[in-house]
Structure 1
Amino acid sequence: MTNADDETASGVRNTVDASAISGVVVQGGTIAVGGNHFHLLADNPRPTPRQLPLPPPGFVGRQGELAALTAAEPGETPTIWTIGGAGGMGKTSLAVQWAASHGDRFPDGALFVDLHGFSPNSHPLKPAAALRGFLDALGVHHRRVPAALADRTALFRSLVAGKRMLILLDNACDEAQVGPLLPGTSSCTVLVTSRNRLPGLAVAHDAQSLRLGPLTGSEARAMLSARLGADHAAGALLAAGAGHPLALAIIAGLARTHSPAEIADELRDESSRLDVLDTGDPATSLPAVLSFSTRALTHGQRTAFLLLGLAPGPDTGLPAAASLVALPVDCAKLLLRALEHASLVDRDNQGRYRMHDLVRDHARSLANELPARERQDAIKRVFDFYVHTAAEADRRLDPRRTSIRLGRPMSGVCSHPLRDADSALQWFAVEHRNLLATHTDASAADEHETVWRLAWVLNTYQQRRAHRQERADIWRCASEAAPRLTDPVLAIRAYRHLGHAHIELGDLDEAHRSLRRALDLARLHGETAQEAHTHRTLALMSEQDADRERALDHASHALELYRRLGNPVREATALNQVGWLTAWLGDRGAGEEFCRAALALFEQHDDPDGEAHTHDSLGWIAHVVHRHHEAIEHYRRALDIYQSLGNTYAAADTLDRLGAPYMAIGHYEQAEETLLEALTIYQHQDRPHSIRRVARQLGVFDALVARGHRCPEQG
């Protein structure tokens, strides 16, 4: 006989010592494909095996996964499902719940084995030992169990051939452990749960896969409600559980013996949240359960996992991850693939990597194992990646904007070139939350230069996409960081941009304080350009405060300073502002002359953003002097440019104003369509004053329709 741990190569024919297996008839065949058949004589009858654990109490959700299992039709090969996910994500619960609900499908019984692939106190169960348990359950006397693994597999397959059985292989570590336990008959259904992805089963056995992520908010609430009652399924407890089934179960257990409010308070601190979820039992303690997933990692994979836990933001792109671990992109990708295989990270359809919040907490808690310098360098590299890439994206969006000196990034930082403005907008949209998180982390670490630089390189994107509150927040931090830097201009810029952000938020008192501070610093340090910029921003503030005469004074002062500096593009900006305000104050002709002079300068110096703003001004002037068709042309030109620049903030205002000339010429449907488009953008940007104004305008159309007014084109 062969040793029980020996494996027989594919294609080798085997025989079994019949004297050792009394009552079994042996037919030779190719074991690797289930060709050996053992026919057990009925000398040791056993009851039909029903080995499944009890269904989990209070099981909720997973309706899509349950439906997928139910819908599977038997084929020519066994129906095999792999159920994967992170530790504690409810893989076994799902499998047992489904099996309990569909017992009628398996009249010949159900076999269950815990393969201990990720268990606290044992090594992974060898396939031969698992088969020994199956054969015993199927009535094979222990003296008649073959010693060789291949022979046990062949006997097992013969015994279940043609039977309608469920085989649940729980907590598997890899394909090699599972392969010998698979039946060779299409009548059986096999469920395999594992933290590791098992792609080999899909290749060799056409296995189908389910991946379990966190429970949805409603599912998590239902789970806590089932265990605690609806009154205790509080938002704080739900947030702390982050949809993780084991964490929610632990929280429910704690809340039965402690005040839910007390538990919620303890769970709010992310740095100690895992300590609260440590039950002391390796089988149910969340930190212990998560730690089992890292045992098989190599040193490099483990280091990458710990560092990835330090990455700012909810997800991480490959170039940022490569910068974090200081490896070329291809090498970093291999490490991340290993972590994905182990269900420690997930990769979405855009190729971005994400950790569950509690897995991230675990990685961060383990990161203290690394030398402090290694952690600090990794964080500095990812800071540099975001600052340098955002600076490149900002240059793509506004090539004429003043660039800041960055120096060279740290060694190991991965470059991420951006081709054009469209790719820059796309990158900003994907990375915006991570950039904000980077800014927060840099502020907490007193990385003052990084704080200021990130505020600067984010400004264009945030202004064009109406991230008003976020823009105010980061410039507030930058204004606090700037005085700690050596260049006084940085503080002036920070206060000025903070003031502008408060203007957009409608907080004019805060805007005035910040802008006066910027103006005082500019005069103190003799920074004429900064003084001019600040006067122009003060004009915006005064205009919003309905003090257009004061606004014109500030704009005229800015124009005078720009001319003194010999800066034609800035001069054009001030000319447009002076023209707009002059027209508002009643002198339409002079206002139009200022604006046309501004447009000529913008066109001469190829500044599309300035052109768009000036076309918008000329559109308004043309409308108020009853040149409505001309107004529509100007507004449409401004919109084309804004849309090409991705400036949805300004585009919404232009759409808002475009409705008026359409109304004036009786094109009510086009006016309504335009205003509805503006309203949609305003709602997305959360601009309540503009939303109310446009909503009132749209009410006019209802009145017109009620009175029987129709567009001229409709007759």
Structure 2
Amino acid sequence: MPIGGSGLGAGSATLAELINDLGGLVTAGDGVHNESAAQIGGHSVQAGQIHGDVYFHHAPEEKLVPRQLPVAARHFVNRAVEQDVLTTLLGGATSDGFVLISTVDGVAGVGKSTLAVHWAHRMRDRFPDGDLYVNLRGFDPVAEPVDSTDALGSFLIALGVPTERVPQGLEARAGLFRSLVHRKQMLILLDNARTAEQVRPLLPSSPSCLVLVTSRNRLHELVVREGASRISLDVLTADEAELMLASYLGDQRVAVEHEAVRDLIRHCAGLPLALGIAAARAVENPDFPLIEIVSQLQDERERLDALDAGGVTGLRSVFSWSYRSLSPEAARLFRLLGLPTGPDISLRAAADLAGRSHRETRALLAELSHASLLDQHEPGRYRFHDLLRAYAAECAAADEAAPDRDAAIRRLLDHYLRTSHLIDRHLVGHSRKFALALPPSNVIGIAFDSEDRMLGWWEEEYANLTAGIGQAHRRGFRAHAWSLAFTLFYFFRLRGYLAEWIRNFELALEAVRELGDRRAEAQLLHGLAIAYFEAKQHEKVVFYRGLARELFEQADDHYHAAMSLLIGSESSSVLDRHDVALAMAERGLELQEEVGDLNGRGYGNGCLGVAYMGLREHEKARSHFSDALTLYREVGEVYGESYILNELGELHLALDEPATALLMYREALRIRQGIGYRRGEGQSLRDLGRAQCAAGDREQARAHWEKAFTIFEELGDAEADSVRQELDSC
């Protein structure tokens, strides 16, 4: 190193000090004088005046390269996609002059740190100047998050700065850190960060470095300001989870107990931490079949107990770190979201659940999403990971008073009921003669400006609506349970959800019988008769129709008594009991004419037309179908209109008029597709195929039958078998 002049740095020895240390003395003057404190062996040279710098050459010291990555996890499942993303980022390296930053976020226990450490070990050779690691403890159960100043201090010491020379302030440490790693190829892993503010002082300025950050929170600020790339880590797929379990249990045990393995994966919802805890229990008890562990996981309320590893690694403990970091308002919403039993929730539904404005609720949902406690899987729709839902429900049971829990559930049920009721009244109010009395509430349902949006809401919320019926029934909200089911009658029928229709109406029937509401009981019995008619279970049609009619007659309700006669007529026609069908239809139409209801008269004429078709009195059938079509069109009953058009197609086909039949079937199909009547669409497609086959167009017939077959298969409808036979015969 140079001594003197500009070669001396701060803290360096002076030239005189260094020479004196070597045992010599130099003095200036006319003569040159040299004294040595020790005898000099060998030859010596008198240099006279020394000009310039003197260099002392020492043997180079061995450079310490920091290698701070923790040990990689043994049971790592290859996250190929995410690793490829990181490797691609690294491939971009320094060409644009910006430091490379990637954030990995996700729910607690999803394996963020495991992925980051595993990938960093793989890439270690690409960073010859070392790797730095710090656990920032953003969500530690017992300690506060690591201060950025302290993290920088540990980095500086790792980079060779003596402890006593580490600056005290944050800015000074950050500046020295950036200086020391400048132009060095280093990997810096900032694990378990809480905020972007905690991370930002730890970022180098040199584009030769790569920074990898893991956090439960979504650090959007780093993406926006520092240009970080973001990886959101999801749970394992079923196949990935199986590979993980095999790494614990061995391939043979996984193969032998494969069904139990799949159940285990399902109950752990693909969360690596949960799978690891369950697998560790299986390893500790190799003689116990996996089905024993599975049985302990089946009840959602006890699942967290079965996955409690104790200490800070159990699921409850890990989830609690994120929960405790929330604002009080967001924590309350988190708890309340654990109460509903549907698969997800909309912004408006969450607002009514919490009893807050949409604006307030949107901000709280954003906080939960930011903390990876909730996933916005579609715009405006949110859902929990299954195990987080169980934890949220536990928090609600512990931290929310029972009356507050009941009030929240009631508000949510009011949201679903009032919106569904508005839709039902708009779409089929002309055929509803029973006035539904809604439970009192301050909640206002959603009003839509188009029928497409109404049907879309029913479709989107269907799973939540049926879950709400069950929850209302279990928790004693009987009026909500039966009323919500009743408002879904038309949607059940449109979509052909026969099993759900029957199950929910039977639950509703229990509720109204507990309430002692005989009028509502009659409506549900009639709805069940129609559902069983659609399901071709005609003995049950007779049973439920008879019970409904008896109650209608007791209430002197001629309109619905007529309707029960007419569904009986339809059922009798299907069973080829045409004389019975005709008599019931005539009496039903007579009652509807007394009532003066156009929709009821349309239904009566339709049933008479079907009965006359069965008796092969085609002209009478045509006349009644024509009357029914006129009446239905007058009141805007498009469902009934499509039914009559399809029956007219059947009539013209029976009269050997396939061209006219095709016109009727196509018009019926157009209407049914327009209103989303899936089962009716399948029926019209099937009948179109029959008409085209009769007209000699076998290719088009097969095309329509194949479409019909697909629809009936999706619905689980027995009509699929008859369509398959027609495909085989044509």
Q: Which residue of 2 aligns with 1:500?
A: 530
- Of 363, 367, 390, 1:361 maps to 390
Q: Which residue of 1 aligns with 2:185?
A: 164
SS of 1:54 mapped into structure 2: coil
Alignment of 1:86-105 (within 5 A): 86-105=107-126
Instruction: Calculate the TM-score normalised by the size of structure 2.
Output: 0.87
Alignment of 1:442-591 (within 5 A): 442-591=472-621
Q: Write the distance in 2 (CA, Å) between the matches of 1:507 and 1:225.
A: 47
CA contact (8 A) 1:381 1:409 kept: no
CA contact (8 A) 1:46 1:138 kept: no
How far apart are residue 414 of structure 1 and its match? 5.2
Q: Which residue of 2 aligns with 1:66?
A: 83
Alignment of 1:279-294 (within 5 A): 279-282=309-312, 284-294=313-323
Q: Which residue of 2 aligns with 1:655?
A: 685
Q: Write the distance in 1 (CA, Å) between the matches of 2:329 and 2:13.
A: 52
Residue 235 (structure 2) pairs with residue 214 (structure 1): yes
Q: Which residue of 2 aligns with 1:383?
A: 413
Task: Decide whether aligned partners of structure 1 residues 438 and 408 sit closer, same or farther in structure 2, where only a CA change above 3 A counts.
Answer: closer
Q: Which residue of 2 aligns with 1:52?
A: 69
CA contact (8 A) 2:82 2:231 kept: yes
Q: Write the distance in 1 (CA, Å) between the matches of 2:170 and 2:61.
A: 22
Q: Which residue of 2 aligns with 1:601?
A: 631
Task: Decide whether aligned partners of structure 1 residues 586 and 71 sit closer, same or farther in structure 2, where only a CA change above 3 A counts.
Answer: same
How far apart are residue 322 of structure 1 and its match? 0.3
CA contact (8 A) 2:136 2:193 kept: yes
How far apart are residue 333 of structure 1 and its match? 0.5
Task: Decide whether aligned partners of structure 1 residues 420 and 65 sit closer, same or farther in structure 2, where only a CA change above 3 A counts.
Answer: same
Q: Write the distance in 1 (CA, Å) between the matches of 2:239 and 2:424.
A: 40
How far apart are residue 222 of structure 1 and its match? 2.1
Q: Which residue of 1 aligns with 2:460?
A: 430
The residue type equivalent to 1:194 in the other structure is: S
Q: Which residue of 1 aligns with 2:267?
A: 240
Q: Write the distance in 1 (CA, Å) between the matches of 2:59 and 2:569.
A: 98
The residue type equivalent to 2:103 in the other structure is: T
How far apart are residue 306 of structure 1 and its match? 0.5
Q: Write the distance in 2 (CA, Å) between the matches of 1:311 and 1:21.
A: 71
Q: Write the distance in 1 (CA, Å) between the matches of 2:78 and 2:467.
A: 32
SS of 2:129 mapped into structure 1: coil
CA contact (8 A) 1:301 1:335 kept: yes
Deviation by residue 1:100-125 (Cα, 9 ceiling, x = unmatched): 22223222221111001111221101
Q: Write the distance in 1 (CA, Å) between the matches of 2:104 and 2:353.
A: 31
Q: Which residue of 2 aligns with 1:6?
A: none
Deviation by residue 1:508-565 (Cα, 9 ceiling, x = unmatched): 3433332232233333443322221212222233334343443333323322221222
5+ residue gaps, structure 1, are: 1-17, 24-40, 702-715
Task: Decide whether aligned partners of structure 1 residues 228 and 542 sit closer, same or farther in structure 2, where only a CA change above 3 A counts.
Answer: farther
How far apart are residue 643 of structure 1 and its match? 2.0
CA contact (8 A) 2:439 2:480 kept: no
The residue type equivalent to 2:240 in the other structure is: E
Q: Which residue of 1 aligns with 2:22?
A: none
CA contact (8 A) 2:139 2:325 kept: no
The residue type equivalent to 2:310 in the other structure is: G
The residue type equivalent to 2:329 in the other structure is: G
How far apart are residue 631 of structure 1 and its match? 1.1
Task: Decide whether aligned partners of structure 1 residues 134 and 232 sit closer, same or farther in structure 2, where only a CA change above 3 A counts.
Answer: farther
Larger Rg: 2
Q: Write the distance in 2 (CA, Å) between the matches of 1:424 and 1:606.
A: 17
The residue type equivalent to 1:246 in the other structure is: L
How far apart are residue 313 of structure 1 and its match? 0.6
CA contact (8 A) 2:439 2:479 kept: no
SS of 2:431 mapped into structure 1: coil
The residue type equivalent to 1:286 in the other structure is: L
How far apart are residue 615 of structure 1 and its match? 1.1
How far apart are residue 152 of structure 1 and its match? 1.4
How far apart are residue 400 of structure 1 and its match? 1.5
The residue type equivalent to 1:593 in the other structure is: S
Q: Write the distance in 1 (CA, Å) between the matches of 2:585 and 2:515.
A: 30
Deviation by residue 1:687-707 (Cα, 9 ceiling, x = unmatched): 1x3112212222234xxxxxx
Q: Write the distance in 2 (CA, Å) between the matches of 1:143 and 1:584.
A: 102
Farther-moved stretch of structure 1 (379-388 vs 178-187): 178-187
Q: Which residue of 2 aligns with 1:707?
A: none
Percent identity of paired positions between Structure 1 and Structure 2: 34
Q: Write the distance in 2 (CA, Å) between the matches of 1:131 and 1:547.
A: 89
Task: Decide whether aligned partners of structure 1 residues 566 and 504 sit closer, same or farther in structure 2, where only a CA change above 3 A counts.
Answer: same
CA contact (8 A) 1:21 1:144 kept: no
5+ residue gaps, structure 2, are: 1-8, 15-57
Q: Write the distance in 2 (CA, Å) between the matches of 1:390 and 1:568.
A: 25
Residue 378 (structure 2) pairs with residue 349 (structure 1): yes
How far apart are residue 344 of structure 1 and its match? 0.8
The residue type equivalent to 1:67 in the other structure is: D
Q: How many residues align?
A: 664
SS of 1:672 mapped into structure 2: helix
SS of 2:214 mapped into structure 1: strand
SS of 1:293 mapped into structure 2: helix
CA contact (8 A) 1:21 1:143 kept: no
Q: Which residue of 2 aligns with 1:710?
A: none
Q: Which residue of 1 aligns with 2:436?
A: 405
Task: Decide whether aligned partners of structure 1 residues 476 and 192 sit closer, same or farther in structure 2, where only a CA change above 3 A counts.
Answer: same
Task: Decide whether aligned partners of structure 1 residues 22 and 642 sit closer, same or farther in structure 2, where only a CA change above 3 A counts.
Answer: farther
The residue type equivalent to 1:289 in the other structure is: V
